[in-house]
Every structure is written in structure tokens, then in C-alpha cells.
Structure 1
Amino acid sequence: MVNPCFVLNLATFLTSLGTDNNLVGFDPRGVRNSGPNLSCFPNGELGTSRFYHDIDAPIDYSDEKSYARAFERAAAFGDFCTKAHSAPNDTAKYANTVATVNDMRHYTELLAESKGQEPGKSKLWYYGLSYGTVLGTTFASLFPSRVLSPNFFPVGRIAVDGVVDAEDYYQGKWIANVAESDESFRYFFQVCYAAGEGGNCSFWADSPAAIEARFEAIVNDIEIRPIPVAIDTPAIVTASDLKAYSLQIPYSPLESFPTFADMLVELEQRNGTSLAYLLQIGRRFHDDCEAAMPEWYEDVEPRQFIACIDANDRYNLSTFDAWVQHTDTVVNMTRYFGEAWAPATSINCRKLNIKAPTSQVFEGYPSASKTSNPLFFLSTILDPVTPLRSAEKMTKRFGGASLLIQNSVGHTTIVSASECTSGYLRNYFDDGSLPEYGTHCEADQVPFGIRK
């Protein structure tokens, strides 16, 4: 099983893991095409597009009024969405990690039964990335015998890549995620400079510091004078829009860095068209079945719901002072992304009153002190939202587990192909063998086509 559900989009990568297994991609409950429907806007896309452009908007750290707007907007989200899911038979409360882990267990049982095997001894073979690592480590905690038993074939395997600090996640803080965000983003300045004058980075300057200064100048310019755009409707591009988009850039440097460089050149010339297209600013939405929402909209509502339900009100930013203190913590950790990260995570739980059944509340943090077939953890050396230190922490909570570090920047190892990493993954799923803890692998490519 693979999560997120990308077996078609990343078929080439997944086949590099070997051809002996069938690949089953799935989305957790409430995500994309998997029920229950978590949308607060049952009448179409117009309300969704308008509201979620605002709720994920970065705050202005220098403006207390900006804090207040985000704080009260989160209250509106909580009240509105709680009411939208207030029917006695509403199923939104079942969209949580423990429920999805039970779905995974049920799938393995049905598969075992179809092969004439005993369902109760079924095993999970799983490769999870990002939030999928929470699913994997939670499964291993709740059902260790379904993963780790030498007495029944096939013996399960769990590999997790781009590892979430599950303790921080279940506490509802979402703070540990951004420990390496600034370093990951600054990699753009470094590798753009390394591309050389006349190379493939259109935003080149004569030092990484000079490139960073050009970027800062663009942000400062747009903060004072937003850029007008005219696509389907008149609109403006703001510094908040640039900050929100910049958060995505270090996720996949090979793919995003060249586009980002070109976009910065345009913004420097006060042309905001590319940024507007990327963020769907000034685009027309309709309340009908023909309207095409951007893919990222399909993840926003489920992300809020599942994270808040899993947190179970453990970290409720119910007062304005608590919200300010939380934001100060995040912004102090990441200068570039703090203003965008803080309003997009924990604050939106503060008045969302949807609770999982008691049987689906995960207490404590995922761990297993002893396993006969250990888990395999993987991380890039710099990850903007699941830092290496989280992988190190989680690896130590599962007895016998090993950690592989890929010397690349990005969110999960798969965004930068590495035959070295793929080889270790193949071996793990083939025979359960693991590299020594802390083994490093090189990536096969570097952004901007730079030769290694």
C-alpha cells in the first residue's frame, strides 16, 4: 500500500522499487475521492475558493490587526464548519487517522482472505510519505503483530519517508515541521548562484547573498505596492501571495526552482501574471459541475479537519494571547515561512467542534519498543516541512529501526531520484534488510542541471 495516492503519477519511481509487488494507492478518509465528504460548502466551489484563499493567507508579523483577522477568521471557520456537519448522522467525525489505520488493517484482512489465508494474521506492506508517515507509525503502534512477526508469511514491512514528528502532530502544535524551512528555502539562492552567469537560473546574481537581496527587494516592493493583474477578472498580487507560494518552492526543487526563478524575474519587472495563475488569483469560479478547482483546494479542507480531529483539542489556541505566543514561536523558527505557516495550521482548530469517537482517539505518541522486523525511516538532509530531526526522533522510538539520509533538499526523498536510495528500498521490501543507521545516499540530479 502507498500513501499518498500517487501510484499513477509516480509510476516510474515506484517501479524502481521492484516489480514483484502490486501497488495499491489510497487516500485517507475524507481526502479527494475518499469519503466522507468533509466540505463545508456543499453548494459548489465558489464559497470554497473565496474562503480558503483567505484562511490560508499569511499574516503580517508587524501588524497586530493582521493577527486579529486571522484569529477571528479561524473562529468563523470553526463555527461555520461545525454547523455544516451538525446533523446527527454526519460522518465527518470518522475522518481521522485511527479510523484510516483500521481501514488499512481491514484491507489487509480482506486480501489475506481472498488468498485463502487467515485474516487475523494478515500483514501490512506499506510505503508512506509525509502525512502517510503518521499513518505508518500509528499502524505499527496499534497493530505491531500485523507488521512485525517472523512466524507468518508474508512478513509485513513499513517504510516511511519525509517523517512527521508524530508527537508534535497528535498534540496539535505543527511547530516541529518548520525547523529546517529557512535552510531549505535558502538552498534556492545557493544553487541558483552555482548555476553560473548565463546558466539555467534566470534570477542569477554574483553571490547567494545578492540573490537573496533581490528576493527581499521584491517582497518589500510588493508590500508597499501590490501588482495589478487582469486574467479572468481584475485582481492584485500581494506580498502575502508571494509568501504563500514561496512556502511550496523547496518541496520539490528540481521541478519548482526554475519556474520560481523565472517568476521572480517577472515580479521584479512588476509582472504578476505567472504568480496569479499559479495561485488562481483573478480566475473565475462557477457554482456548477463544470468548474475546475485547482488540485490543492481538494486538500485544504481535509487537512484542517483530520489534523484538528486527531489533535482532540489538546492544543486549543482559544485566547488571542495564546495565538500571538504561538505565532511568535513559529515566526522565530522560520523567518521566511512563519507568517504563512502559523495561520494555516493549529489556529483553525480553535472552534471546530467535531470530535472523533473515543475508540478513535490516539493517546500518547506512536512507538514500539521491540519489533522483530524493524521499520525503515528515510529523510532528505534538508526538508522544508518534515525535518531530518523529526526522522531521527521517530526512528529512535521504534526498536531496531534504521534511518537513511539522502543528501538532497526537498520534501521526501522521491522528489530527487536516487538509485542508491531506491536500491535500499528494494532490498527492504524484498528481504527485510536495512542499511546501517545514518547511511547517506546521493541524489542523481541537482536543480538547474548543475553537474555533480
Structure 2
Amino acid sequence: MPCIRTISQAVLLLGGLSRTLAMPHYPRTDGVSWGACEIDLPSVQCANFTVPLDYTKPNSRATLDLQLLRVPAVKQPKKGTILFNFGGPGLEARLTLAGTAQTLLAITGGEYDLVANDPRGTANTLTASCFNTTAERATFVGEPSSVIPSRDDELALGRVWGQTQVVEDQCFNFPGFRQRGSLIGTAFAARDLLQIVDAIEDDGLLRYYGTSYGTVLGATFAAMFPDRVDRLILDGVLNPHEYFNGYDVEAWADSDRTFSGFVEECLKAPDLCALGSRRVYPEDLEKDVYNLLEDLREEPLSQGDLLIDSSLVQTFIRFSLYSPQFYPALATALEGLLSQDAAAFADVYDAFVESGLDLTQSPDESSFAILCGDKRVPEQSLEEMAPVFEALEDESRLLGSSGHIQAMICQHWRIEANARYEGNFTAATRHPLLVIGNTFDPATPLRSAQNISAGFEGSVVLEHGGFGHTTLSQGSSCTINAIRSYFQDGTLPEPDTVCEADYAPFEPKTLTDVLVDLGYIEAAPEE
């Protein structure tokens, strides 16, 4: 799901037969010439790869250069290539792959080259940007609003409705954006994957690992080209039915449950969790946090130049729940607010920003340009959207209102992708899919993994009994070995398998520690 941040920036970020299926198949290309990267990292290679600009116009000679990054296999003989998409939509896949190369080589077995391309709309590939400069983007909507609107706050809903319309107008009228926007989207990205596969794989089959939005792309490829699927993992599933035809309500299904789990795990580890010193029942501590959010909605706090309102705290909770490595900091921040110590919250928040985890900034508009260009929803007025807002908040009391902004900007959006997948997600792939969902995932619930698996013949759902967004957030030797076995020999886990994490959420351990314990990577030398 898109990374929607605080409201002032959020408005800026934020089956039948498919016509894409009817497009002609483009012939195998001539390969990829790998060379040095502009990214200063060891053991990676880069290439530009030319694909058709618009697959809906087979007679056109217009082309697009995709930027690819490869991490070579470390074991021989090599078994092929695994392609990656890490989500968003809008994440720069090349940088993410380069930064996680050692981990992903270990998880996948080391016998595959790992390759990622920045999808259309992201980074330098048909960049989805509606502004000339970062400063222009940051100030465009004027005085920032600090409200994530609730369904009962008509004034806030109206304000955001207007803001999202203004931003859509900016994008619609920005020079060149309409043309770029019509050439991005998931159906185009799936065909780009097929072109890459045809260029680098002798057997013409896809090996793929997709997380978050990357599962939508993977599921779309599998539905469009089921006979071209060899190994395909969907990890942290965003329901593609809702992605293309709804408001992503299901995405919030486990948000409250994940927060409840965070509180319970905190109280089990009072020496590692700042909130643990309160020594109360989990349900009482949760109630205190919900009351805190209501208080901050009515009476925000200020600390220096930071306005601490319910919207900021909701956003902070949302993204902190993505990974247990952030749980101690989240607990410290909430303890500060519950103790009426705004400075304590501000210190944690500032540390996040200084480390590069700025929740209020986005480099472009790719997150909603890709999503809204793909999505088809009935045209509705603000009043007519009331059931959507109710459904979002009914799905998650804590975070559901964060989805209102995305819903509104997609309601206004007028720039449609020329190609859009309009079919269903029912197919018999050449080799069955491995679908993975976390027990406690605030952004992509286990339910979505089960729903998408039901449509792909022979696929199996593996439940990763951990916290955070996707299996990479909390290490499990069981899950890692299941992934390796799948890529090495196609073995699927038994149905209803649950792989527990190797450590509790508040323990000072990481996925890397699990890989070291398994002997899949070497421990870093002690300083």
C-alpha cells in the first residue's frame, strides 16, 4: 500500500478479459549488457534495457530505457535470475536491492543472480513528479494541515477533499505529466518484467520475489502470463482485487491486532519496553493510548517547532509498527506522551528524521500516481463516500482513517494508464506460487494472502508467525528455509504451516542474527 504520511504531505504523495491480455507478444530481445554502476557499492552491476514505451501501440517505434541493477550469484552453477519488487508503489527497487543484497542472497540460497529495475513512475523512469523542485512541493498546499480526518469530522474531511482536488489539478496540468501518467502502472510493469525475462533467462520463465505492492505486480504477472511462471513468491500481500477496483479497506484488517500484540509483547518485556513499567493489563494500556489520541485531536501539544497532534502520533505509530526494530522507540515515545513529557516524544521523532526515516517528505508523486492510475472506482461526491470512510475506520479503529486521504485523491484522479489489468486472479500457473503472510502485519493482513492464494491453483499460504510488514521484519529460520527450498527445488511447505519467529519483538535481535545462526552469512567482525 502507498506510504501515506502526515496530511500536509499525504495529499502530495498521495474479472473479465483484460485488454492487456489481448496485446501482441513482443519477441525475445537480444540480452542485457551489464557494466559498472553509478551506485558506489561493491559486487553490483547495472544496465540500461530498452523496452517498448507503450505496449498498446505495437506498431510504434517509441521506446523506454529501464534501469536495471544486478547482484551476481555467489554460488555455482548458477540456477538463473530472481527479479524483485519491494513495494510502495513508488519505491526505488535498485537502491533497495543494493542495500539488502547480502541478506537476500542468503535467503534465496546464493545460486541466483538478483535483479531489480526501477518501475515506471519511480526514480528516473518516467518520473511521476508534479513539481519542479522539492521546495515547491513542500509549500504547494500552503499552511500545512495536521489533521488525518475522521469520518465524523465534516470540517476536516471537507478541507482534505479540497486539498486533494487541488493537488490532482496540479498533476493534471503539470507539463508532460498526463503523458507520463498514461504510460505507468502495473500492467505496463508486468510486461516490462516479461521483456526482462526474455532477455536474461534462456528458458523464458520468471523467478520473482515481491513484497507489499510488489505482490500486486507479481499476482498480475501470474494472472496475465501463467505459463511463464517458474518460482514466484508473494510476501506481505496487498489484495489485488481491491487495489484495482476498491479502496484497499482490507489492508487495515490486522492493524489493530498488530498494535494489541505490540502492547502485549511490551508488557512481557518490561526491562526492554518503556511502557512496561506501567504494569497494567494490556487492554487498559491500549485504552490509555486511544484516550491519548482523542486528547491530542482536541488539544495538540507543541515542542519547539514540532506540533504533536493525533495525526502525527497516528502516523508515527503506523510506520513504527512496520518493524520490531522500531518497537522500543515507539514505546519510549508513547510513554513520554502518557507521562505528559512532549520532549521525550520529540527526541524520538527527531531521531527518526535524522536517521532518514522522515515521515513527512516524499521525493515525488509516484505512490499515488501509480495507484490511482490503476484504480477504477465509481465517481462519487464527498457525501457519497461516507460508507468508504466508515468501512475504513470499522476495519481499524487505530489507523483506518489514514486511508481516507488515499481514497479521496484516487476519487479525484483523471490520469488513467493506457494499459490496465481488468481480469481476475484465478489461474493455473506453470509452477505453484508461494504466498506468505505475517500473523501481525499492520499493512498487509494474513487474510489477503489467503484470499489471493485461493485463486491460484496449487499455491500454498505460509503463515509467518511474526510482527511487522513482510517476513523480512522479524527473522524466522523456518520461514527462511521455506523460501530457500522453494527457490532451490520448488518445494512448497505443507498447507497450514506456521513458522514462528526465532526471537520476541522486543529482543535486541534481527534477521541478520538468524542468518548468522543458520550459517548462511558470516558474523560481522567485532570492533
TM-score range, shorter chain: 0.7 to 0.9
Q: What residue number does 1:97 align with?
A: 186
Normalized per residue, the structure richer in helix is 1
Q: Compute the displacement of 1:318 (Å).
A: 2.9
1:12-411 to structure 2, matched below 5 A, reads 12-14=102-104, 15-31=106-122, 33-48=123-138, 51=141, 57-85=147-175, 90-112=179-201, 117=202, 122-147=204-229, 156-196=230-270, 199-204=271-276, 205-206=278-279, 207-230=281-304, 234-252=305-323, 254-268=324-338, 269-271=341-343, 272-274=345-347, 276-277=349-350, 294=358, 297-298=361-362, 301-311=365-375, 314-316=376-378, 318-343=380-405, 345-357=406-418, 360-368=419-427, 370-411=428-469
Q: Compute the displacement of 1:41 (Å).
A: 1.1
Quick check: 2:467–2:505 contact (8 Å CA) kept in 1? no
Listed one character per residue, the Cα deviations across residues 274-332 of structure 1 (whole Å, up to 9, x for unaligned) are 3652686xx9xxxxxxxx99487447721111111111xx2145301222221111111
| TM-score (structure 2 length as normaliser) | 0.73
For 1:362 and 1:56, how far apart are their aligned partners in 2?
36
* Counterpart secondary structure, 2:114: coil
Quick check: 1:247–1:340 contact (8 Å CA) kept in 2? no
Q: What residue number does 1:289 align with?
A: none
Q: Compute the displacement of 1:168 (Å).
A: 0.8
Distance 1:435 1:56, change over 3 A: farther
Quick check: 2:322–2:468 contact (8 Å CA) kept in 1? yes
Q: Compute the displacement of 1:46 (Å).
A: 4.1
RMSD of aligned alpha carbons: 2.5
Listed one character per residue, the Cα deviations across residues 81-136 of structure 1 (whole Å, up to 9, x for unaligned) are 11115567x32211100111111111111213xxxx4xxx5111110001000111
Listed one character per residue, the Cα deviations across residues 375-421 of structure 1 (whole Å, up to 9, x for unaligned) are 11011112212111111111110111111111112211111111111
* Counterpart secondary structure, 2:152: coil
Supply the AA of the counterpart residue of 1:21.
Y
For 1:86 and 1:125, how far apart are their aligned partners in 2?
35
Q: Compute the displacement of 1:209 (Å).
A: 2.4
* Counterpart secondary structure, 1:319: coil
My pick for the range that moved more, 410-419 or 218-227, is: 218-227
Distance 1:350 1:217, change over 3 A: closer
For 1:133 and 1:97, how far apart are their aligned partners in 2?
11
Quick check: 2:442–2:469 contact (8 Å CA) kept in 1? yes
Supply the AA of the counterpart residue of 2:500.
E
For 1:335 and 1:279, how far apart are their aligned partners in 2?
25
Quick check: 1:167–1:364 contact (8 Å CA) kept in 2? no
For 2:142 and 2:243, how far apart are their aligned partners in 1?
22
For 1:102 and 1:365, how far apart are their aligned partners in 2?
17
| TM-score (structure 1 length as normaliser) | 0.84
- Are positions 1:7 and 2:105 aligned together? no
Listed one character per residue, the Cα deviations across residues 324-348 of structure 1 (whole Å, up to 9, x for unaligned) are 22111111111001222222x2211
| Paired residue total | 412
Quick check: 1:183–1:382 contact (8 Å CA) kept in 2? yes
Higher RCO, Cα 8 Å, sep 6+: 1
Supply the AA of the counterpart residue of 2:407.
S
Unmatched 5+ stretches in structure 1: 148-155, 284-291
Quick check: 1:67–1:324 contact (8 Å CA) kept in 2? no
* Counterpart secondary structure, 1:129: strand
For 1:405 and 1:24, how far apart are their aligned partners in 2?
26
Distance 1:414 1:293, change over 3 A: closer
Q: Compute the displacement of 1:236 (Å).
A: 1.9
